[in-house]
Amino acid sequence: MLSVFARVPPEHLPPTSRKINFNFVPVMMMSVATPFNLLNQDLLLLPQKAIYWRQQKALIIADVHFGKVGHFRKAGIAIPRDMEQSDLATLSDLVHEYKPEKLLFLGDLFHSDMNNDWDWFILWRSQFPGLQIILIKGNHDIIADSNYQKLNIELHDEFLLGPFLMLHHPLPDDKLQTAAGYVFCGHIHPGVNLSGKGRQSITLPCFAFGKRQAIFPSFGKFTGKIAIRSGQADKIFAVLKDKVVAIA
């Protein structure tokens, strides 16, 4: 499946986007979803670093950080603009494949102040006008609420849906005891460090499920990873290029 961006004629783009080279055509990669049942809810852990929740027909992602590429480029740092397009293309492909009724962002949707990359997000939103989008605001979500409201995006500090409480920041153990539901969150960009028999090692993004809280990997490609200790979660799923595998 081709990304929706490959099918948009240049004359339909926002003015700031018409200068972009549209020879970049992301193509959906064949990937394998990993089923995971949590609290009698059927989840699909996706190698695109998202979760599809079957019962709610909901796609859930964290820490997209749209606009980060634009901020770095504005500061004179050579970052390929295609990276921003790639994140939106991946999101489009997920929506086309799973056909969710809801899309939940667990905070840090847009990286910081408004920049030209916002035009890309407006264009992306126009392709899915019937999709319910819910943003749980994170520490990077500092642009005016009115910008999201114009795009028919719901804003919350927290959001309870079924047995899951959607947040941005993880909760400490003492607050988890009284939380209204099992917490889904992001913020820390979790990774897991794998070592070989020699000195080689690699840190992969991961989903980290604890007894009362799950921490999502960052969706955005232009984000880092922080290796977590295995004792911090009951089950860890490492994200590879085309699959998600349980390692602990």
> Which domains can be identified in the chain, with CATH numbers?
30-246 (3.60.21)
Question: What's the pLDDT band for 11 if we cut at 50, 70, 90?
Answer: very low
Average pLDDT of span 116-125: 87
Q: Rounded to an integer, what is the distance from CA 28 to the centroid of its chain?
A: 16
Average pLDDT of span 92-107: 96
pLDDT tens figures, 162-192: 999 999 999 999 999 999 999 999 999 898 8
27-31, 42-46, 82-86: range with lowest mean pLDDT: 27-31
pTM of the shown model = 0.81
Average pLDDT of span 19-35: 55
Percent of all residues in the chain with a pLDDT value above 70, rounded to a whole number = 71
Within 8 A by CB and 6+ apart from 168, the residues are 62, 106, 107, 108, 136, 137, 138, 139, 185, 186, 187
Q: Compute CA distances 13 → 8, 102, 151, 246, whole Å.
A: 7, 25, 16, 41
